[in-house]
Amino acid sequence: MKTSKLEKSYRVDDGKHFRLKDFDPADTSNWRSKEHAAAQLQKDISRLEELQDKLYAQDRWAVLLIFQAMDAAGKDGTIKHVMSGVNPQGCQVHSFKEPSSTELQHDFLWRTTRHLPERGHIGIFNRSYYEEGLVVRVHDKLLANEHLPPDLVKKDIWEERFEDIRNFEQHMTRNGTVIRKFFLHLSRKEQKNRFLARLDEPEKNWKFSAADVHERAYWDDYQNAYEELIRATSTRHAPWYVIPADHKWFTHLAVAAAVIETLEDLKLFYPQVDAQKKKEIAAARKLLEKE
């Protein structure tokens, strides 16, 4: 089955020279038709279903997909559309909002580590431990809620956090968890349009949050935080994908293409049946045919 082929690569393996301005939020690669892309996405969803079935049956690899973005970038919709054909038995989605008092009593990786996918499964994090280098960094007064010893809150605390994340992701990779991270790159103008739609369309009013609008005042701070975070935590074993998010239809297509490529690289296959198992199958067939 032919899957999406993107003219451009949105993958960042080495963030050393990464610059966010090099990525256009409105880009659609070689795709110009929303209708054509929708038809292709359905093919991709079918391909994902096949690959996920093999992942589950083989029971060797775990896959963790992390989604980060500014508000209204479409994380929920992307997860919903791209993973719509995946068997829920082998896929779990976890959303991480403001940490609870219990979570704040632990290290910043604790609350997400408890929800890591088991072998044979796909785990999806809607926001993640990367919030530490985003919301907490932009609003650094939030660090006080973590009850850290004062001597540990130093100028280089963010570099230390990034080092911890790199080490954590390397550890997970070495133990069979494949990590792919997606930043849905939305423009400030398109975010405004989506916020206005939430106000103008009654069926979208429930999505409105005054806090989201207030956060727009920190737009540049967040963009700088994302750039430094991606630069510091992009590795070959746990790359970031900077996905254009101004056109939702293309966001879905680009994420699907990246997930398919990731699973295909694992060379997944159904477990081989040994001689003893074949004898059991033959015996079972005889018993059933005699009924």
Q: Is the pLDDT of residue 2 over 80?
A: no
pLDDT value at residue 208: 79
Q: Is the pLDDT of residue 1 over 60?
A: no
pLDDT value at residue 273: 77
| Model confidence pLDDT, tens digit, residues 188-202 | 999 999 999 999 888
147: left (phi over 0), alpha (psi -120 to 50) or beta: left
- pLDDT band at residue 221, thresholds of 50, 70 and 90? very high
Q: Is the pLDDT of residue 278 over 90?
A: no
pLDDT, average across residues 43-64: 97
pLDDT value at residue 56: 97
- pLDDT band at residue 287, thresholds of 50, 70 and 90? confident
pLDDT, average across residues 225-229: 98
| Model confidence pLDDT, tens digit, residues 81-130 | 999 999 999 999 999 999 999 999 999 999 999 999 999 999 999 999 99
- For the ranges 10-24, 200-214, 267-281, the maximum mean pLDDT occurs at 10-24
Q: Is the pLDDT of residue 11 over 70?
A: yes
- pLDDT band at residue 204, thresholds of 50, 70 and 90? confident
**Domains, in order of start, for the chain:** 11-290 (3.40.50.300)
| Model confidence pLDDT, tens digit, residues 122-180 | 999 999 999 999 999 999 999 999 999 999 999 999 999 999 999 999 999 999 999 99
Of residues 287 and 182, which shows the higher confidence score?
182
Q: Could you give the CA distance from residue 63 to residue 54 in angstroms, rounded to a whole number?
A: 13
Q: Is the pLDDT of residue 23 over 90?
A: yes
Of residues 213 and 54, which shows the higher confidence score?
54
| Model confidence pLDDT, tens digit, residues 228-268 | 999 999 999 999 999 999 999 999 999 999 999 999 999 99
pLDDT value at residue 159: 97
